[in-house]
Structure 1
Amino acid sequence: MRLLIVDDEVIIRTGLASVITWHELGIEILPPAASAEEALTRMADERPHILMTDIRMTGRTGLELAEEGLKLLPELEVIILSGYDDFSYAQQAIRQGVTDYLLKTSKPEEIIKTVLQAKQRITERWAEKSREGQLLRENRQRLFTEWIINGDVESGPCPVFLQQGMNVQSDCYSGKEQIQRQVLILKAAGWSRSSAALLNFAVQNMLEDVLPGAIAHMQKNRIICVVQLPLNKQEFQFTLGIALNRIEQLLKCTLRAAVGLPCREIDHLHESYRTASMAYRYHGLLEDKIWKYEDVMHRKGGKTVLHHEEETTLGTILLDNDSIMLTTWIQELIAELMLDPEVTPESFDACLHSVVNAGQRWLIRTMRAIGREDLERFEPWMPDPDAVVGELRDLLFHHLYGLMYAYHSQMGQGRTTHVQKAIAYMESGLAQDISLQHVAGQVHLHPGHLSELFKKETGVTFGDFVTEMRIRRAMDMLVVSPAKVSEVAAISGYEDVKYFSRLFKKHTGKTPSEYREEALSYKPS
């Protein structure tokens, strides 16, 4: 695709022609023209597809050049170069059919985006005009999807574009060294959301230019690429890194690639895609630019649930309405998960869900403690599957902050008694110190006064209330947790498991083991 730059200022026209590596974008740069008159004399022979012209020049203006150029080449894409003083003039040019405009002060990446948009429009027009070409492209995309993504190798003969250098049938191997291929899945970022499709289009085109034998295919917000491996496979990751760096530098973007298992036979390309897809799921957990399936295939999974101490700490932070400590707690938890060499996307997601559930349980307990059980339905925790760690961290903070705000906004409505605040504090933690002296200090009352108020408002003593609360929590844990009875006792605040068992039977009529066995027997399978 050919680009002609026209400007009567030599610095501008030579700068635009040389500062950007146009050929790596699939653009052939024609010798720049110094005037509209020169451009018009050359256009019939050189037939540029894109014209980038200054709006004010000695002799004919850029608008006059555009008008004459469009008569000569109706499919010409015209980009006007404008100074700040010509802004309204440029707007008028667009109304007259000029494709787009650029300020002369535009950064190289802005110029690249504008030219790539023009290139994409031309490509789309060519496809529309050439029904045969469009059908071929659609058929190639369909075959790529069937063979590589879906693995439907029985759907028909092997596509010609996949056959070069590879075994089509596993029984035809002649002993000659065969070319190996593997599938990459790439994620491109760095442009605005509205330009994401254009960025993927540009990356797809450049991959096929910078990686010999590459076949690229866009799938939603990622790029699937079949690449040809050199005989020395150890060099490939280095070569791929250089190629991605070139594309990043030119397009001012960031690229990351997950690499599947290599294969010699076309029938196995789907397996390479499948393993690349599994590796791609780690893009939010790894900082590497390029990583292989072999790097993550043996991971067994990290922590999936919060420990009781962590849930207690979270409850205390939410009760204290401390957004700074909440931010720090989330950052430390995610850093811990990320540092675990066994972490997988499944275990990471499960642990974040555990945090969300812990926050929701805290809100239910504390709201019940202050006599308010008319909670609105919780917003579901459904992060974007492509979200990176930083985005997940922010989403988790906003979710927990919403729970914290829901509680404290209710506390601010109407009068909340000291006893209700004390109960909310006790309900917010699991194994923390819930002695009368400690809780009284949290609500700023003398222990004796709190004890009197507690008996008056609840009808039971502070000690009996704490015992009932601990037994209630133990009952819940025995049903939903596989923890041993001794562990449940310790979590509930009892170091002596025999004393705990006697107390539990006194309140429930059953031993902890009997209660668990009976509860599980009624639990639906």
Structure 2
Amino acid sequence: MKVMITDDEVQIRKGLKMKIDWETEGFEIVEEASNGQEALDKLHLIQADIVITDMRMPIMNGIEFAKRCQRDFPEIKVIVLSGYSDFEYVRNSMKEGVRDYLLKPVAPDELREVMHKVRKEIQEDRAKRAEAVRMNNLIQSHIQEEQERYLLFLVKDEYLRIHDVKERLKQLQLKELAQDDLNGRFFTVEIREQEKNTEKLHEYWLPFQLLIKEIVKEFSSIYSFYNPNYKNMVHFFCINKPTKIPAVEFIKVLQQKTKKYLNLETVIGAGDVIYGIEEFKKGYISSLLSWSQSEGGPKSQIIYGSSENNRIFEFSADFERKLLNAIENTNYSIFKETVEKELNVIHTHSVLSFSIIANHILFLLSSTISKYDLETEETKKNLWNCQQYIWELNAREKVIDSLLDFARLIVEMVHTTRFSNAKLIESIKNYIDIHYADEISLTSLSELFHINGAHLSETFKSQIGTNFSDYLVKVRMEKAEVLLKDTDLKIIDVANLVGFSSSGYFSTVFKKHVKQTPVEYRRTIETKEKKVHSK
């Protein structure tokens, strides 16, 4: 550990240096000063862990130095040397930043004992700070995972009530996104490698993710998430605020650091500015379309969409409702007729408008796959093919045909599911298992799956063996039990992560289900772990 000695008498400083073998004891004297002010000035230039200072010095005495040091360098420990006459004064100054004291003349054994004592305190303080950082990172990692999952849900899946969405955003510490005056834009970022080495991209994916997390910390109001359907890509939503650094600066730093530290190129598609959560899908799609217009090859680029200079067709709620009803009613003919009616009006749609509509339809089909748990190798292949045709921006007939073929497949799969109570309830059960933390009710599920509420309630109980509300609580409590084993998470954090806004109500429900409060459950776990470790 690094030590500074401060005393206005050179001989005292020399004497202290000779009292013990500093190196053998694990210390290094890195600097000397003749008064408190000089010591403070030098601490701005060097690193020190401990300062030994005399009590009486010109310009600034030891006690005043200790106060200033506590304010400017709180991690540094100060040991004061004093004569017997100043002993009580120095001892009463322990709360003023003095960590320990030594009476003159200093005995080697006493000096050694105090130095070891203070070193132990420093090590314990560092361990506590490291643990606090680790705990905070752990808490944030749980929350961040759920934040990313929910952002992905908002840009690609179906939800019913905007109020419920905003409440969930607040639970997940994303209240900025729940503001009524929200506006911002999405950015799609792809990493590319000079030699098109897919193995290297796979190898560098984790370092790239870690780099992103570090860069995002430097900026405010920027949120990242990943979509497994797009390899080597990460997506960002950047809130526009007059008081914060513009998103363009963030993008610049991202490109520079990715090149500097990973030697990878970045291709970035900037979406259109959107207003409110209701426009998330449109904004996300516009960033993907901007990216799709990039040049091929390993060259860093930033592409801004041209929608601001073109009339963009709005994907209306009525149009979406017609498509969803056609799928839920397993009526492929109606779906085909509705799509062709819109997408074949070629003369009134720009290429960009056509692509946005096509992407919305594709997202709707993808959302249906997620909702009914229909993912297979065939659906993944169809999804990929549709994406490729849309990105080409020059084959409208091929896009329409591929979307309709994909829709026919999904309608057939939904038909099989909906006409089998077992399969339908299994799909609903899987949906609950994934979205258990969201605002779910029997009413919202019946609306989402287009099924009568009373029939859903009766069928769910007959197939699963318990009613819907009990099953939802069971899933939430099982997830809570897992999270509570991580003792660094606060009870309110666990409550929010499993869908409760109130820690009090969460505790009541948890005790009813587990027969213990969350605190009691944690104590039981800790006791069991101690017994295991003691064996």
Give me the TM-score of the superposition, normalised by structure 2: 0.30
Which structure has more RCO (C-alpha within 8 Å, separation ≥ 6)? Answer: 2
Give me the TM-score of the superposition, normalised by structure 1: 0.30
